[in-house]
């Protein structure tokens, strides 16, 4: 119920009587009581006619705005609570034990995703990145081996590939914790 209607009824006035007393049309009073905010001359005249302050006629609108603002804040807090950063970090870090074996580095995160039913875009992106690394690492390793640059270069390539994957996993874990996003991600998804 609008403040105007509350005050008018408290004074035992009909809409017609208020219109006659204030000089404001009945239709305008009906619109204000239906939810239109009075402004300028209309607001001032109604306040004087009812012997209340202009703010008294607007109080209901202010309360509604505060309620809407509170609801927006609550909604954003719910969205943050829906982001399960602990589980997402576990899924990301579960690639670490198999970082040295590119073919298996995405299997454990994939299993955790299916068992926990955590299928958020960020989890899909984590697994897609590990699948991409599982595809690209053996290709790079084989190219170095086929170039016959020696066993030392093959060993260094293998170590660099593993350390790169470990760095990507750890850096993404840090970003998940701080910014709730990934530092390294693909522009596409395998899942």
Q: What is the pLDDT of residue 42?
A: 87
**Tens-place pLDDT, residues 102-153:** 778 888 888 888 888 888 888 889 889 888 988 888 898 888 888 888 888 8
For the chain, which residues make up each domain, given as ranges?
A: 3-81, 83-179
114: tokens are 């299916």
Which pLDDT band holds residue 75 (cuts at 50, 70, 90)? very low
What's the CATH class of domain 3-81?
Answer: mainly alpha
d(CA 19, CA 21): 6
DSSP for 80-102 reads: HHHS-HHHHHHHHHTTGGGTTST
**Tens-place pLDDT, residues 24-37:** 898 988 888 888 88
pTM: 0.54
Q: What is the pLDDT of residue 178?
A: 86
């Amino acid at each position: 119920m609008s403040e105007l209607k509350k005050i008018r009824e408290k004074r035992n006035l009909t809409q017609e009587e208020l219109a006659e007393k204030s000089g404001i049309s009945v239709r305008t009073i009906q619109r204000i009581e239906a939810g239109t905010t009075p402004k300028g001359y209309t607001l001032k005249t109604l306040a004087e006619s009812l012997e209340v302050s202009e703010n008294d006629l607007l109080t209901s609108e202010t309360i509604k705005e505060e309620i809407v603002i509170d609801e927006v804040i609550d909604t954003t807090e719910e969205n943050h609570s829906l982001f399960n950063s602990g589980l997402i970090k576990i899924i990301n870090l579960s690639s670490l034990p198999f970082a040295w074996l590119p073919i298996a580095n995405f299997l454990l995160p994939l299993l955790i995703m299916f068992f926990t039913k955590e299928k958020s875009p960020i989890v899909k992106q984590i697994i897609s990145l590990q699948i991409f690394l599982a595809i690209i690492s053996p290709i790079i390793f084989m190219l170095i081996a086929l170039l016959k640059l020696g066993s030392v270069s093959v060993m260094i390539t293998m170590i660099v590939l593993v350390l790169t994957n470990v760095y990507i996993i750890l850096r993404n874990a840090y970003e998940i914790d701080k910014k709730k996003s990934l530092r390294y991600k693909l522009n596409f998804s395998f899942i």
